Amino acid sequence: MKTLFEPFKIKVVEHIRETTEAERTTLLKKAHYNPFMIKAEDVLIDFLTDSGTAAMSDHQWAAIMEGDESYAGSSSFYHFEKVVKEITGFKHVIPTHQGRAAERILFSIIAKTGDIIPNNTHFDTTRANIEFNKAEALDLVIPEGKIPELVHPFKGNIDLEKLSAFVEKNYKHIPLGMITITNNSGGGQPISMSNLRETSYIFKKYKIPFFIDACRFAENAYFIKLREKGYESKSILEISQEMFSYANGCTMSAKKDGLVNTGGFLALNDDALAEKIKNLSILTEGFPTYGGMTGRDLNALAVGLQEVLEENYLRYRLRTAEYMGEKLLAAGVSIIQPTGGHAVYIDAKHFYSHIPLHEFPAQALVCSLYKKGGIRSVEIGSVMFQNPAMELVRLAFPRRTYTQSHFDYAIEVIIECFKERDTACGLKIIWEPPFLRHFSAQFEPVSKVHQSQ
């Protein structure tokens, strides 16, 4: 059959309050043109993030009822630990309340002034936690990963030639190497197994620990199965195990491919580093067998990490992004191609070609989508990063949450905004915080509307 339906049935529904465009215009102004500041009840379709927004399964809810809330030695922790070890093969598993807590603990131990941490592309919290510790976050994604319209099977790959040259010259100042799977800032693009293997070899040659930012490991594994020769017949678990085998550890926000609403972890092999992490975790997160999480949440995460490996779910997940991408391309909307695993990324430079970069065209588009159709999305461009390679709007899809009609409605809204693109104006920042400004910066419209050339 050609129709790929949602591989689940709906057991509980959540009401969506409909709003008018006039109401949303007022709400957007009150939020200082930053949708992070808009109440969830005033959003019709929430594509702000895929982090912690998943609908959990009946098996996960059943696991919650069996959660062991013991402060130390919880059976829920050992259930969770067993699953993580099976997937990653790492010796030490340390839970945290979310991924950025894992990043904060790791980088506060290993990063210092003058250090440089290379990656394909660091995402916002990873970069901020590195820079907070006075180190430098270096992006080395392949050139193809910076060209939205270019079709390449693994646009998330790290540039091996640049990485090798950089490490050879600077290895004394590199406490850790990383790679983000899939590459969120670059369009949710996957990394090939061969690229992971070669990246691992480069770091290993200079005895530099290599960590994976594993938020979307299962989506990356499925891309490898679909696109890389030799993996067609392997299971997602087998592919995942091989991916992790090339690393010394990982950080993970389990709010993505853990299919849960909270949680994260650090997993690694180094005994001495693990001991330091556990000691700091006790100070800021909690005892190492709960790490800021409840027993019930650890139980739900253990189940989610097993469910995310199911191919019918991953097939549906990737096809959802592909479906939206096809519709938008047919309407003339430029997006990151091919579509990634968790989101569709609109090329705002193309969408609002008349708005100069210093007036934040991607943030302007984020505001237009909310005003026109109540869709909340996020800017990944000049607001989030300094001098980014691309100016993007990310529509991140909560897992197992929305149906075909929701996506068709979103497509209609985007196309309507595209038809009216010449009437849009840019924005200017009137207040911003010192770190991660996109979360809370305040904007106001630039008065004049630039005309398209």
Burial annotation 254-293 (CB, 10 A radius, 16+ → b, else e) = bbbbbbbbbbbbbbbeeeebbeebbebbeeebbbbbbbbb
Q: CA-based angle 93:215:46, to the nearest 5?
A: 135
Alpha carbons 117 and 107: distance in angstroms, whole number: 10
Greatest CA separation for the chain:
65
Cβ partners under 8 Å of residue 372, min gap 6: 21, 413, 416, 417, 420
Distances (CA, A) of 322 to 4, 333, 339, 340, 407: 12, 14, 6, 8, 11
Contact 53, 261 (CB under 8 A): yes
Give pLDDT, residue 2: 75
Give pLDDT, residue 449: 59
Give pLDDT, residue 124: 86
Alpha carbons 32 and 38: distance in angstroms, whole number: 9
52: left (phi over 0), alpha (psi -120 to 50) or beta: left
Give pLDDT, residue 408: 97
Distances (CA, A) of 250 to 119, 303, 427: 13, 19, 38
Contact 86, 107 (CB under 8 A): no
Q: If 0-12 CB within 10 Å is exposed, 13-18 middle and 19+ buried, where does residue 415 land?
A: middle
pTM flag (> 0.85): yes
CA 208, chain centre distance (Å): 25
- Kind of pairing, strands 375-376 and 427-431? unpaired
Alpha carbons 59 and 304: distance in angstroms, whole number: 9
Low-confidence ranges of the chain (pLDDT < 50): 452-453
Give pLDDT, residue 387: 83
Name which of 270, 262, 275 is nearest 101 in CA terms: 262
Q: Which domains does the chain have, with CATH numbers?
A: 21-50+311-445 (3.90.1150.10), 58-307 (3.40.640.10)
Q: If 0-12 CB within 10 Å is exposed, 13-18 middle and 19+ buried, where does residue 151 land?
A: exposed
Name which of 229, 235, 410, 255 is nearest 320 in CA terms: 410
Alpha carbons 20 and 71: distance in angstroms, whole number: 48
In a 3-state reduction of DSSP, which class is residue 110? helix
Tokens of 308: 């995310």
Q: If 0-12 CB within 10 Å is exposed, 13-18 middle and 19+ buried, where does residue 249 land?
A: buried
Give pLDDT, residue 268: 98
Alpha carbons 197 and 191: distance in angstroms, whole number: 10
